[in-house]
């Protein structure tokens, strides 16, 4: 197997650093804040054991993701639909993540609704687990999934960031009060 180039570029948006990662096929990961700067280790090595990094903002400009991320953080309704993605995960995870892409800007759904939307109504907890492993937050909007009690549930970047992302989309009625980590 030959070595694969993984491109990266960091943008500062919404007072946070967001690092974009891409393969030749499309965007593979979006990491942020205190998350790893280099997604090395188990995740990356599982999918591309032989890789090298290359800082290259041009790749992301050509993919259109830089403009769309800037628009999103400026408050515009962005779907990311036309951005080439190279989604790495199990078939079930990919199913869930593709389901996330169907949640419209300014819309929230529950884990139960997401499970039903992808045709897996009995898999609410598994859907929740896959949601939490989403490599492309914001792009595949896992922040738009809430608990059935109408409150925020866990988010890799913390509930404050989840609330900020929802507020960018005009969603201000979902609170952290009564947060239940596993209220699917």
Reply yes or no on whether 119 is catalytic. Answer: no
Q: Which of 32-41, 94-103, 107-116, 169-178 has the lowest mean pLDDT?
A: 32-41
Give the number of other CB atoms < 10 A from CB of residue 33: 13
Q: Give yes or no for a contact between 163 and 108, defined as CB atoms under 8 angstroms apart.
A: no
The per-residue pLDDT for range 115-140, each reduced to its tens digit, is: 999 999 999 999 999 999 999 999 99
Q: Give yes or no for a contact between 61 and 68, defined as CB atoms under 8 angstroms apart.
A: no
Active-site pick, 100, 108, 130, 142: 142
Cα separation of 101 and 87, whole Å?
A: 12
């Amino acid at each position: 197997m030959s070595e694969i180039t993984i491109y990266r570029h960091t943008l500062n948006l919404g007072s946070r650093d967001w690092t974009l990662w891409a393969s030749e096929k499309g965007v593979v990961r979006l990491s942020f804040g205190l998350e790893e700067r280099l997604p090395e280790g188990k995740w990356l090595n599982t999918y591309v054991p032989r890789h090298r990094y290359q800082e290259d903002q041009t790749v992301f400009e050509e993919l259109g993701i830089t403009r769309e991320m800037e628009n999103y953080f400026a408050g515009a309704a962005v779907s990311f639909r036309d951005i080439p993605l190279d989604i790495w995960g199990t078939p079930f995870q990919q199913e869930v993540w593709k389901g996330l892409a169907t949640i419209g800007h300014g819309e929230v759904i529950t884990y139960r609704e997401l499970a039903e939307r992808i045709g897996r109504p009995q898999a609410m907890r598994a859907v929740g687990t896959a949601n939490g492993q989403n490599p492309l937050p914001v792009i595949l909007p896992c922040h738009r999934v809430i608990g059935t009690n109408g409150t925020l549930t866990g988010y890799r970047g913390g509930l404050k960031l989840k609330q900020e992302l929802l507020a960018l989309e005009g969603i201000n009625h979902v609170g952290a009060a009564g947060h239940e980590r596993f209220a699917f």
